[in-house]
Copies of this chain bind each other. A is one copy, B any other.
């Protein structure tokens, strides 16, 4: 096996060589890889059965939960077919590279173009679901990036064969063989996280602890999110039916997703009006309410009764900075919109926060004043998602502010470079410009691609 440094160097070399391969060949590679996967379906699913058997032993020993076991299964429902369909879907998306976003004629015959291009080498680390190796390889190839992929050890047998099919596909194209590589050990990941000379972006997809650990152990930029602490704020002017619908959907539509609400903030004026109805609906949906003193008191003096004694409990400070990822919500009462925004800015993970309000002014203030990637009005936090936003596919959701923020589509996997060409008879030099000499024209050029 290659050392981590050889793998990283190989990825960088593959990236550099691939820059002259036309985008059409990358799309061709995706179709070839799909056919390779189809041709090896039986072997891959047999390996997956082995992974599942080993995982079953872990589950019985109490070392793995059933949710992870279920995510491992590549033959469940239409998972295999949608993995393959995903390849074709991504292949058909608009080309993200080669797009001109700025073009100027600086002088007669001196043209400048800012053009989108791949970032370089991606290191992607994920857990459990083996099909992610195919999803990520597909996105990397489509966007022109080389990638090094590391799956969870529980899916090693499956990802090994998926990777083999990807490599076999690449070998039938003019893309370099080290364009997509897979690694198996944590030791390799640790070594790679040091190699900022070769690796340009790290994308961790998995648990909070996986992401935090990576963020704390590399100088390479990391794209993604550790926490997803989203909140819904019920404003004094909220409509009760909208409040019930938005809160229940934000919490219960898919509680283990990062865009599920973890905190409910109440304007104090809704404590005896809207809050009991929202609480009733949440309790009916089996949600556990962790309440601050005012919201607890309001329930106790209302007709709302908990279906089980444990479903309403006093909250602790820690509950407001915890991503429960389950049917649990922490409830906080505050005296004003301003206080709610300050609370959210201090406690949320800057992912997505929603206000329920009938006031256009409150909607305006909340969407500007809350410093999160998504600020919503009368809409569930669950809409924060690349597919729902219309990106066609999603690389992940970023809570960073740099480069890409919120749900990230293929655009998040490209950067840009500036290409400049002099058509002048003598070339162009800078010392001919300045006071008393030539002035820059900066005339806009209409161009969607670079003409040279």
Is A342's beta carbon under 8 Å from chain B?
yes
Kindly list chain B residues whose C-beta atoms are within 8 Å of the C-beta of A200: 401-402
Is A95's beta carbon under 8 Å from chain B?
no
Min CB distance A262 to B, Å, is 16
Interface string of A408-452 (1 = CB under 8 A from B): 000000011111111010111111010000001010000000101
Whether A356 contacts B427 by the Cβ 8 Å rule is yes
User: Given contacts A112-B389, A368-B20, A430-B383, is CB(A406)–CB(B417) below 8 Å?
Assistant: yes
Kindly list chain B residues whose C-beta atoms are within 8 Å of the C-beta of A420: 374-377, 379, 383
Can you name 19 A-B residue pairings with CB atoms under 8 Å?
A20-B365, A20-B369, A106-B388, A245-B426, A245-B427, A249-B430, A253-B429, A364-B452, A367-B452, A374-B418, A376-B421, A377-B422, A378-B424, A383-B420, A383-B430, A388-B430, A402-B415, A405-B415, A406-B417
Whether B377 contacts A253 by the Cβ 8 Å rule is no
- Which chain B residue has the least Cβ–Cβ distance from A416? B405
User: Given contacts A418-B384, A421-B379, A427-B246, is CB(A119)–CB(B401) below 8 Å?
Assistant: yes
Given contacts A112-B383, A241-B427, A356-B427, 14 further A-B contacts (CB under 8 A): A104-B389, A112-B390, A119-B401, A120-B371, A221-B221, A253-B429, A360-B452, A376-B419, A378-B428, A379-B421, A383-B428, A402-B403, A405-B417, A406-B418
Once bound together, how far apart are the Cα atoms of A426 and B245, in whole Å?
Answer: 8
- Which residues of chain A from 208 to 249 have any CB-CB distance to chain B below 8 Å in the complex? 215-216, 219, 221, 223, 239, 241-242, 245-246, 248-249
Is A174's beta carbon under 8 Å from chain B?
no
Kindly list chain B residues whose C-beta atoms are within 8 Å of the C-beta of A430: 249, 253, 380, 382-383, 388
Whether A120 contacts B401 by the Cβ 8 Å rule is yes
Interface string of A4-27 (1 = CB under 8 A from B): 000000000001100110000000
A contact patch SS: mixed
Whether B378 contacts A253 by the Cβ 8 Å rule is no
Interface string of A190-217 (1 = CB under 8 A from B): 0000000000110000000000000110
Once bound together, how far apart are the Cα atoms of A20 and B366, in whole Å?
Answer: 9
- Which residues of chain A from 348 to 386 have any CB-CB distance to chain B below 8 Å in the complex? 356, 360, 363-365, 367-369, 371-380, 382-384
Kindly list chain B residues whose C-beta atoms are within 8 Å of the C-beta of A242: 422, 426-427
Whether B380 contacts A428 by the Cβ 8 Å rule is yes
Min CB distance A185 to B, Å, is 25
Is A110's beta carbon under 8 Å from chain B?
yes
4 closest residue pairs by CB, A with B? A249-B429, A242-B427, A382-B430, A390-B442
Kindly list chain B residues whose C-beta atoms are within 8 Å of the C-beta of A407: 418
Kindly list chain B residues whose C-beta atoms are within 8 Å of the C-beta of A245: 426-427, 429
